[in-house]
């Protein structure tokens, strides 16, 4: 099979260093949607945690119930600030001897530094393995024998296995009554020497295609749907990434306070954009109601079925049926909102 030349991502892309597309992003989306393509995510960081205390230790540091994670089990976990703001998103998978953490590009060093600062006298070892391991995105909900495989949580995938936090505690489902779409998939960790061979086993697709499918399902991603003030409740991470019934961790009091006493100040929405302008708004562009800024664009995308869309974070008080406008460099773009996180 002849593979077309890869197109590099533009400046400011959240995925530098990997193919953006291979000449036909919409066809690549359809190939991902029908399960016949794979995406190079080798820019992701990979951190290993070894030692007999690793799962209990990670359980205590993160928002997820990891203490009983079974071999080959996977989970989504977060590390929060003392005030409950999201600092790290961890895609965790354990192979019985090592817990592997797949993280956003450029964040592995900061994560390793934080984890090592919290080791104390525990029997754990932390290492950045990003130089010798790579990640491949595959549209499947089955584990790959012999390779650490992180499965998208069922809340996002619409199907699959529940490995950690299956009961999630409390009424976690109140935040996202219904997902706009399913986003099934897995992240397979492979030696870099095997990366090209694994990608060659399916059609090539770039990160443009994967991001469009993620945006259509309103699945949050650190650094896109989040900023320095993001609470997990605002973007629908309560349940998939935050177990409400687990014990104390940094930021847990803030999570419980927002959950028990009120509503988060902002909420995630999916915007359906006017398609008359062929240029998409950019990440961070203002979302306005009656000329006043009420939020910002998170992930803009051209979807192969929905057309131009964008996830956005808006004030909770924004009426769910209000017509919105996005203030882009090319002008104002009319938008209708689809509720993701309930007001």
The CA angle 146-219-154, to the nearest 5 degrees, is 50
Yes or no: say if 137 and 187 are a contact pair by the CB < 8 Å rule. Answer: yes
For the stretch 203-236, pLDDT in tens is: 999 999 999 999 999 999 999 999 999 999 999 9
Percent of the chain past pLDDT 70, that is, above it, reads 96
For the stretch 86-97, pLDDT in tens is: 999 999 999 999
Check whether 113 has a pLDDT greater than 90.
Answer: yes
The whole-number average pLDDT for the span 140-164 is 83
Q: How confident is the model at residue 66 (pLDDT cuts 50, 70, 90)?
A: very high
* pLDDT at residue 247 in the model: 79
Q: Which three-class secondary structure state does DSSP give residue 56?
A: helix
Q: How confident is the model at residue 165 (pLDDT cuts 50, 70, 90)?
A: very low
The whole-number average pLDDT for the span 13-21 is 97
DSSP string, 149-204: EEEPPHHHHSSS---S-SS-STTGGGS-SS-SS----EEEEEEGGGHHHHHTTSEE
The token pair at 262 is: 């009120």
The whole-number average pLDDT for the span 133-151 is 96
d(CA 267, CA 214): 17
* pLDDT at residue 164 in the model: 43
Neighbours of 163 (CB within 10 A): 24
d(CA 113, CA 115): 6
Q: What is the CA radius of gyration of the chain?
A: 20
For the stretch 248-263, pLDDT in tens is: 899 999 999 999 987 8
Judging by DSSP bridges, how do beta strands 203-205 and 37-40 pair with one another?
parallel
Q: How confident is the model at residue 339 (pLDDT cuts 50, 70, 90)?
A: very high
d(CA 307, CA 314): 21
The whole-number average pLDDT for the span 62-74 is 93
As a CATH number, domain 25-260 is 3.30.1360.120
Yes or no: say if 326 and 335 are a contact pair by the CB < 8 Å rule. Answer: yes
* pLDDT at residue 262 in the model: 77
* pLDDT at residue 159 in the model: 61
* pLDDT at residue 342 in the model: 94
The token pair at 310 is: 């964008």
The whole-number average pLDDT for the span 26-53 is 98
Q: How confident is the model at residue 289 (pLDDT cuts 50, 70, 90)?
A: very high
**Which of 89, 79, 312 lies closest to 218 in space, CA to CA?**
312
* pLDDT at residue 169 in the model: 58
Domain ranges of the chain: 25-260, 265-339
* pLDDT at residue 170 in the model: 64
CA distances from 273 to 6, 110, 248, 257, 281 (A): 28, 36, 42, 35, 9
* pLDDT at residue 275 in the model: 83
* pLDDT at residue 2 in the model: 53
Judging by DSSP bridges, how do beta strands 286-289 and 292-303 pair with one another?
antiparallel
Q: Residues for the chain: how many in total?
A: 343
* pLDDT at residue 168 in the model: 56
- Domain 265-339: which CATH number of 3.50.50.60, 2.60.40.10, 2.40.30.110, 3.30.420.40: 2.40.30.110
Partner residues linked to 133 by β-bridges: 191
Yes or no: say if 80 and 254 are a contact pair by the CB < 8 Å rule. Answer: yes
């Amino acid at each position: 099979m002849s593979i077309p030349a890869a197109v590099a991502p533009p400046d400011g892309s959240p995925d530098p260093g990997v193919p953006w597309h291979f000449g036909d992003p919409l066809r690549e989306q359809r190939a991902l949607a029908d399960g016949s393509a794979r995406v190079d995510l080798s820019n992701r960081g990979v951190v290993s945690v070894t030692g007999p205390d690793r799962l209990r230790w990670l359980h205590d540091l993160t928002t997820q119930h990891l203490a009983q994670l079974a071999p080959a089990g996977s989970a989504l976990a977060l590390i929060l600030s003392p005030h409950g703001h999201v600092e790290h998103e961890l895609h965790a998978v354990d192979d019985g001897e090592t817990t592997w953490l797949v993280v956003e590009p450029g964040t592995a060093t900061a994560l390793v530094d934080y984890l090592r600062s919290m080791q104390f006298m525990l029997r754990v070892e932390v290492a950045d393995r990003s130089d010798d391991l790579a990640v491949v995105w595959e549209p499947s909900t089955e584990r790959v024998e012999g390779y650490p495989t992180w499965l998208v949580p069922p809340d996002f995938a619409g199907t699959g296995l529940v490995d950690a936090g299956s009961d999630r505690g409390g009424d976690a489902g109140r935040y996202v009554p219904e997902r706009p779409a399913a986003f099934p998939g897995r992240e397979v960790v492979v030696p870099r020497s095997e990366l090209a061979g694994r990608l060659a086993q399916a059609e090539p697709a770039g990160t443009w295609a994967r991001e469009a499918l993620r945006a259509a399902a309103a699945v949050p991603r650190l650094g896109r749907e989040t900023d320095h003030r993001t609470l997990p409740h605002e973007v629908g991470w309560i349940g998939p990434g935050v177990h409400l019934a687990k014990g104390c961790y940094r930021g847990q009091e803030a999570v419980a306070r927002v959950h028990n006493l009120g509503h988060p100040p902002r909420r995630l929405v999916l915007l359906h954009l006017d398609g008359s302008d062929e240029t998409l708004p950019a990440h961070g562009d203002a979302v306005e109601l009656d000329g006043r800024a009420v939020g910002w664009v998170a992930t803009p995308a051209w979807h192969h079925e929905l057309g131009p869309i964008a996830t956005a974070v808006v004030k909770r008080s924004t009426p769910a049926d209000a017509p919105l406008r996005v203030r882009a460099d090319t002008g104002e773009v009319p938008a209708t909102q689809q509720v993701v996180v309930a007001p």
